Chains A and B, each alone.
Chain A
Amino acid sequence: KAGVTQTPRYLIKTRGQQVTLSCSPISGHRSVSWYQQTPGQGLQFLFEYFSETQRNKGNFPGRFSGRQFSNSRSEMNVSTLELGDSALYLCASSRGSSGTDTQYFGPGTRLTVL
């Protein structure tokens, strides 16, 4: 069974640009969650999608947005990039709710903002 895949694996952008990250969950999983990981803050929750609906959103500015498609694939978008957005972005999928079922994480997308 294929795991969670994320594309691209690495990205370099400059301040002010926007970026779109993609996540393909494990087949049959309906929940996709996104997390930002930085050395200082650790793992912080961005948002969760379940059956194309946003279930939860973390405490991030509106520049961070996401969506989920009917095949459960998810994308997140960051507009007007700032230096502080440099981080490892991880997505995780689960069969049911992110809080009740085992979470399976992808390898992450390393975003560097110059």
Chain B
Amino acid sequence: KQEVTQIPAALSVPEGENLVLNCSFTDSAIYNLQWFRQDPGKGLTSLLLIQSSQREQTSGRLNASLDKSSGRSTLYIAASQPGDSATYLCAVPFSYGGSQGNLIFGKGTKLSVKP
């Protein structure tokens, strides 16, 4: 059974710091991995999707890496800003019979960037 874990549950950093968020999954046979951002009381915003054949994806100040063999992904945020404060979630699809289904989410890391 696939399980997704994100540690730490919360993180507070001063503005301008580079930071890394971690995501681990128990079944390495994933099709892809997605990172999302959620602001309080809002829906999720897709940040990056990494296919299983990729090692990393970049979007602006965000860089996500994927190591399937170790069951880990990291989201690197460069030069953090107060506007980056949000909960960050990672998710992998549920695999069944060679097909990919719904997303299985971690509990998220709540990031607070202090001015």
Contacts and interface: CB of A to CB of B under 8 A. Distances in A.
The majority secondary structure among interface residues of chain A is strand
Interface string B71-105: 00000000000000000010101110001111111
A90 interface: yes
Nearest to A45: B102
A84 to B, nearest CB: 18
Contacts of B100: 97-100
Contacts of B44: 90, 92, 103, 105
B24 to A, nearest CB: 15
A56 B102 contact: yes
B57 to A, nearest CB: 11
Given A42-B107, A42-B108, A43-B89, A99 B43 contact: no
Contacts, number: 69
A33 interface: yes
Interface residues of B, number: 26
Interface string A76-112: 0000000000001010100001111011111110100
B46 A97 contact: no
B102 A58 contact: yes
The majority secondary structure among interface residues of chain B is strand
A105 B43 CA distance: 6
B88 to A, nearest CB: 13
A45 B103 contact: yes
Contact of B93 (A90, A92, A98, A104): A98
B11 interface: no
Given A43-B89, A105-B43, A105-B45, A99 B102 contact: yes
A43 B105 contact: yes
Given A105-B43, A106-B43, A110-B41, A99 B105 contact: no
Interface of A: 4, 6, 33, 42-43, 45, 48, 55-56, 58, 88, 90, 92, 97-100, 102-108, 110
Q: Pick the 4 closest A-B CB pairs, nearest first.
A: A99-B100, A99-B93, A45-B102, A105-B43
Interface of B: 31-32, 34, 36, 41-46, 49, 89, 91, 93-95, 99-108
